């Protein structure tokens, strides 16, 4: 994008694109820092847990199940366990080999469902091919479904009733609340229609509440002229799993951009041999938007914070 001048809030510049000049508004971008916001939420949870323990109440307990040796999954589960420790939540990690039979896993989940000491259960995705994701999601007790994937919890969300919200959309909601992002009356575009992120995110943004009351468009792989939909958006949530798909030509100046995607892309110059890329081209989009999440350090830490919040809630519900 040749011809860009230095970014100044409230300034108009001309970008020379293919010989044509276009007036473009450049914003003073601010980061939606998931690390800082997530740390603040974990500290609040730690104080709540400490208060529970001082009153002689039960310590929240999360049990995570990891199957196989997927490096990314192991890293993510490890981050969840560490976050539990920092927040005062008891955690148990059950790690199985990749050839674990589905029935064995379902029997273990049933055992955890019946264990009064366990408040939350999560099974790390993706699963090996012999295990059906739907069977696992249905097997977890909805009252311990702190990932918010069970159809009962998703149905409660659709009806605006209390239940466990899927951790990533819930984390995004908490992030927007933390930074006091105004959403009421805004046009929001969610890219991706998965039951884990896209669909529940569209529901949350459209519902009444402090982070809601948006007019929401849910886009997907069959959407005609996707870029035109994105350009109208005051808030963009990109959750399609394609590195740097969303670029500056698609973004309305001043938009709030939430990048959910995280993909390992080969990079021989890195010690690890790869780097992490989001669904948004941060380098160009950040010159136009008002707020944007980094990758990594944006949505990921907030997903974990939301998971811990759900675990604390699951434990608190036993007090009633």
Query: Active-site residues: which are they?
Result: 80, 124, 147
DSSP 197-237: THHHHHHHHHSSSTT---EEEEE-TT-TTHHHHHHT-SEEE
| C-alpha radius of gyration, the chain, whole number | 21
Let me know how many helices (H) and strands (E) the chain has, helices first: 10, 13
Work out the number of other CB atoms within 10 angstroms of the CB of residue 250: 25
Contact between 164 and 145 under an 8 Å Cβ cutoff? The reply is yes
Residue 224 in tokens: 């005609």
Please give the Cα distance from 307 to 81 (Å, whole number): 11
Q: Report how far apart, in Å, the C-alpha atoms of 110 and of each of 115, 135, 290, 296 are.
A: 9, 12, 47, 35
Q: With the C-alpha atoms ordered 153, 298, 211, 84, is the resulting torsion angle positive or negative?
A: positive
Please give the Cα distance from 312 to 102 (Å, whole number): 29
Please give the Cα distance from 271 to 274 (Å, whole number): 8
Work out the number of other CB atoms within 10 angstroms of the CB of residue 118: 20
Residue 237 in tokens: 């949530």
Residues 6+ positions from 203 with CB-CB distance below 8 Å: 157, 158
């Amino acid at each position: 994008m040749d011809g860009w001048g230095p970014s100044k809030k409230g300034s108009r510049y001309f970008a020379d694109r293919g010989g044509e000049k276009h007036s473009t508004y450049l914003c003073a971008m601010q980061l939606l820092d998931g690390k800082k916001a997530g740390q603040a939420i974990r500290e609040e949870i730690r104080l709540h847990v400490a208060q529970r323990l001082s009153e002689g109440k039960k310590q929240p307990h999360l049990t995570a199940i990891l199957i196989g040796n997927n490096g990314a999954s192991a890293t993510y589960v490890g981050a969840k366990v560490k976050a539990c420790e920092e927040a005062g939540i008891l955690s148990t990690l059950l790690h199985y080999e990749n050839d674990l039979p589905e029935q064995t896993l379902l029997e273990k989940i049933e055992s955890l469902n019946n264990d009064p000491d366990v408040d939350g259960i999560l099974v790390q995705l993706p699963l090996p091919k012999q295990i059906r994701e739907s069977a696992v999601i249905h097997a977890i007790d909805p009252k311990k479904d702190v990932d918010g994937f069970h159809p009962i919890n998703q149905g409660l969300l659709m009806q605006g009733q209390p239940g466990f919200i899927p951790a990533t959309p819930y984390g995004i909601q908490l992030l927007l609340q933390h930074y006091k992002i105004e959403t009421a009356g805004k046009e929001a575009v969610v890219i991706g229609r998965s039951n884990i992120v896209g669909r529940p995110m569209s529901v949350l943004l459209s519902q009444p509440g402090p982070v809601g009351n948006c007019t929401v468009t849910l886009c997907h792989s069959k959407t005609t002229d996707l870029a035109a939909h994105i350009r109208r958006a005051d808030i963009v949530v990109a959750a399609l799993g394609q590195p740097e798909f969303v670029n500056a030509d698609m973004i309305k100046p001043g938009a709030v951009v939430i990048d959910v995607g995280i993909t390992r892309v080969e990079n021989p110059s890195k010690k690890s041999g790869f780097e992490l890329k989001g669904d948004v081209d941060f380098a160009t989009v950040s010159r136009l938007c008002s707020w944007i999440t980094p990758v990594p350090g944006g949505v990921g830490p907030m997903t974990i914070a939301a998971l811990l919040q759900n675990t604390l809630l699951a434990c608190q519900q036993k007090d009633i």
